[in-house]
């Protein structure tokens, strides 16, 4: 397996555990629609909001912060995928787009930055 794929999977697992610890209910992971993938779909701790989460993981800030990799194009793709998820599941209610940026400096030092309402979709 390529190193960047393994790093991404490790970051998604860390983000999932982080969200569960914060009281979120994980609905699904790695939901795809056409060219877009939603890393994590969760329900907020109060159960009132469906949260579409993009996870970005890096080993350092040498090439910038992980959240900077969520470009306008990536936001558009996530928005389209979320719209398809909502239609497919006849979902109603509030939604939100979050980014979880993870930096894995080493096994003992991990930085997690959770940006709620990171961008607006549709």
**Beta carbons of 81 and 35 less than 8 angstroms apart:** no
The stretch 74-101 carries a mean pLDDT of 96
What fold characterizes domain 3-119? Trna Endonuclease; Chain: A, domain 1 (3.40.1350)
Q: How far apart are the first and last CA of the chain?
A: 34
Q: What are the boundaries of each domain within the chain?
A: 3-119
Provide the whole-model pTM.
Answer: 0.93
CA atoms within 13 A on the CB side of 111: 13
According to the model, what pLDDT value does residue 122 have?
A: 66
Highest mean pLDDT: which of 15-19, 32-36, 59-63, 106-110? 15-19
């Amino acid at each position: 397996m390529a190193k960047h794929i393994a790093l991404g999977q490790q970051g998604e697992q860390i983000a999932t555990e982080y969200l569960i610890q914060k009281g979120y209910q994980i609905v699904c992971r790695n939901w795809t629609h056409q060219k877009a993938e939603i890393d994590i779909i969760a329900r907020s701790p109060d159960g009132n909001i469906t949260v579409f989460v993009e996870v970005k993981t890096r080993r350092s800030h040498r090439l910038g912060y992980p959240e900077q990799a969520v470009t306008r194009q990536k936001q558009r793709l996530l928005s389209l995928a979320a719209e398809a998820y909502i239609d497919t599941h006849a979902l109603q209610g509030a939604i939100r787009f979050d980014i979880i940026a993870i930096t894995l400096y080493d096994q003992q030092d991990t930085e997690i930055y959770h940006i709620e309402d990171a961008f607006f979709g549709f």
